[in-house]
Amino acid sequence: MNNQSRFPILFLNPVLKQMVWGGSRLHTDFGYEPEADNLGECWGIAAHSNGDSVLKNLEFSGMTLSKLWKEKPEFFGKYDTEQFPLLIKIIDAKSDLSIQVHPDDAYAQKNENGALGKMECWYIIDCPEDAVLVAGHNAETAEELKEMVHNGKWDELIRKIPIQKGDFIQIDPGTVHAITAGCLILETQQNSDITYRLYDYGRMVDGKPRELHIRQSLDVIQVPAKSAKDSVLKTGDLPKNQLNQLISCQYYTVYKLNVSGKCSISHNESFLNMSVLEGSGIVDSISIKKGDHFIIPADYGTIELEGELEIIASDAK
């Protein structure tokens, strides 16, 4: 397809979410509005009833991504799902998030009015020195898990894994997990908002504890957990100017792309989500900078990029 007839790159206005655990970096580091000290999540590429990105492109001005998905399926390639399949977020945790777990598709469809389950993965944009994340647990059997949960043996149960800036972690459904204070993360996930809260450190919000979902958590937690050493991928030394695959699972493939100078990327068949985490530059003569989220349509042909850019990209299966 030549430059005149191909579909345009789709630029999106993110949806910002204020959270009790949020911070100010989504405004100060990424320039998102509003300015607030409790911005927890930027839904950069989202087509969900709890947050729907609005297109910036003049020709689709005011249209949401979920509407575009329905009205222009040719932009996205061959998908038969009613919903846009993925959700891309940047998360700023000023304090620890509650310890949680997500169901898989089968459990969510049966117990959550036909909703999708949630597979997710995290790219660590920034974190404190000696940071740890919660990923997995230490119970060997379902009985042991139940016993530890009901007796509040959280320190014994919860598995913490050390992380550094640039690490990448896949969180399967059924994995106990939590983002910790000081972490700035790009999350690529199935388009779902179903979370079961297992433990909230006994904290009070407006004078009362937040709701827990112990029964559902025990239903869906995988026992034993996946080994800790299989959980974290280091991305420090990846080659520049190419799509480096970080993970491929049944729902998505996630790539890291470090642009330095000029580069040409070829990606066809499906659409490609892109989020700029660092730097500035140009994509096919359009200026882009840190904090921008856009979608390259399916069958776009060669994508020309220029500048110094750190990008996380993804496509859907």
Which residue is listed with tokens 């500048």?
A: 307
Provide CB contacts within 8 A for 94, sequence distance 6+: 21, 22, 23, 24, 37, 38, 181, 182
Cross-strand partners of 18: 39
At 28, phi and psi to the nearest 5? -75, -40
Distance CA 64, CA 204 (A): 36
291 within 8 A of 10, measured Cβ to Cβ: no
Number of residues that this document lists for the chain: 317
3-class secondary structure, 15 = strand
Q: Is the peptide bond before 224 cis (omega within 30 degrees of 0)?
A: yes
Active site residue 197: yes
CA–centroid distance for 263 within its chain: 25
Distances (CA, A) of 167 to 38, 163, 184, 279, 289: 25, 6, 12, 19, 22
Is residue 137 within 8 A of residue 221, CB to CB? The reply is yes
Q: Which one from 6, 25, 159, 197 is the annotated catalytic residue?
A: 197
Q: What share of the chain is helix, strand, coil (3-state, %, to 5)?
A: 15, 40, 45
Q: Are 52 and 69 in contact (CB under 8 A)?
A: no
**What span, in angstroms and rounded, lies between the C-alpha atoms of 103 and 86?**
16
Residues 18, 37: contact at Cβ < 8 Å? no
Question: What is the 8-class DSSP label of residue 223?
Answer: S
Just list the catalytic residues: 197
